[in-house]
Amino acid sequence: MDASAIAATTSTILLHNGYRQTSLFHDPMPHRTTIDMSPPVPTSGVQSNHQQLSRDNCDRRRFEEEDDSRLVKMPSDLVGKTVSPFLKEHIPGIYAPVGKTSTGVVNDTSLDASSASAPNKDSNSRYCYRHRPDSKCRRTADEKKMGFIQRELSSLSSADQEAVTHVWSLFSAAPSRHRELMIQGIMTQCCFPQLSLVSREVHEQLKIDFLTALPSELSLKILGHLDTVSLCKAAQVSRRWRSLADDDQIWHRMCEQHIDRKCTKCGWGLPLLERKRLMAWNRQHETIHPTTEAEVEEMDDETSSVSETSNKRSMSSPVDAPSKRPKLHASHSQTELELERKCRPWKDVYRDRFKVGYNWKTGRCSIKTFKGHENGVTCLQFDDNILATGSYDTTIKIWDIETGEVIRTLRGHTGAIRALQFDESKLISGSFDKTIKIWNWQTGECVSTLQCHSDGVVSIHFDGATLASGSIDRTVKIFNFDTKQKFSLVGHTDWVNHVRIDSPSRTVFSASDDLTVKMWDLDTKKCIKTFQGHVGQVQQLLLMPPDFEPDEVPGPDTLDTLSVHSGRSNTPILQPDHPSDLRAAYGTAFTSDSSRPLPPLYMLTGGLDNTVRLWDTASGRCIRSMFGHVEGIWGLVGDTLRVVTGANDSMTKIWEPRSGKCERSFTGHAGPVTCVGLSDSRMASGSEDGEVFLYSFEGEAVDEKGTPS
In a domain, 317, yes or no: yes
Q: Consecutive sets of 10 residues in the chain, 709 residues long: mean pLDDT of each?
A: 50 45 40 42 42 47 48 58 69 54 44 42 50 61 85 90 86 85 91 91 80 85 85 88 86 73 56 51 46 39 36 34 36 49 73 84 92 96 95 97 95 97 95 96 94 96 96 96 93 97 96 97 95 97 91 53 39 42 88 92 97 95 95 95 95 94 95 95 95 89 74
Among candidate residues 614, 609, 528, the one with its CA nearest the CA of residue 573: 528
* 438 plus 577 within the same structural domain: yes
pLDDT of residue 450: 95
| CB-based contacts of 40, cutoff 8 Å, min separation 6 | none
In a domain, 704, yes or no: no
The arrangement of strands across the sheet holding 496-502 comes to 496-502, 507-512, 516-521, 526-532, 564-565
| CB-based contacts of 463, cutoff 8 Å, min separation 6 | 501, 503
pLDDT of residue 702: 66
In a domain, 256, yes or no: no
pLDDT of residue 36: 43
pLDDT of residue 580: 47
* 447 plus 320 within the same structural domain: no
CA–CA dist 682, 366 (Å, integer): 10
* 547 plus 676 within the same structural domain: yes
Range of the domain at 219: 210-246
The residue among 151, 183, 205 that closes a domain is 205
* 103 plus 160 within the same structural domain: yes
* 446 plus 311 within the same structural domain: no
The residue among 329, 357, 385 that closes a domain is 357
In a domain, 506, yes or no: yes
* 644 plus 590 within the same structural domain: yes
CA–CA dist 192, 185 (Å, integer): 15
The residue among 357, 382, 400 that closes a domain is 357
Q: Are 65 and 20 in contact (CB under 8 A)?
A: yes
Q: Cα dist. 472→434, 531, 605 in Å?
A: 9, 20, 19
Domains in the chain, number: 4
In a domain, 709, yes or no: no
In a domain, 266, yes or no: no
* 235 plus 200 within the same structural domain: no
pLDDT of residue 297: 39
In a domain, 263, yes or no: no
How would DSSP label each residue in 628-691? --SS-EEEEEE-SS-EEEEETTS-EEEEETTTTEEEEEE---SS-EEEEEE-SSEEEEEETTSE
Q: Cα dist. 580→575, 584, 585, 698 in Å?
A: 11, 9, 9, 44
What is the CATH number for 224?
1.20.1280.50
Q: Are 439 and 430 in contact (CB under 8 A)?
A: no
38 CB neighbour count, 10 Å cutoff = 6
| CB-based contacts of 342, cutoff 8 Å, min separation 6 | none
* 622 plus 681 within the same structural domain: yes
* 415 plus 461 within the same structural domain: yes
* 417 plus 481 within the same structural domain: yes
* 433 plus 468 within the same structural domain: yes
* 345 plus 371 within the same structural domain: no
pLDDT of residue 76: 62
Enclosing H/E stretch for 512: strand 507-512
In a domain, 520, yes or no: yes
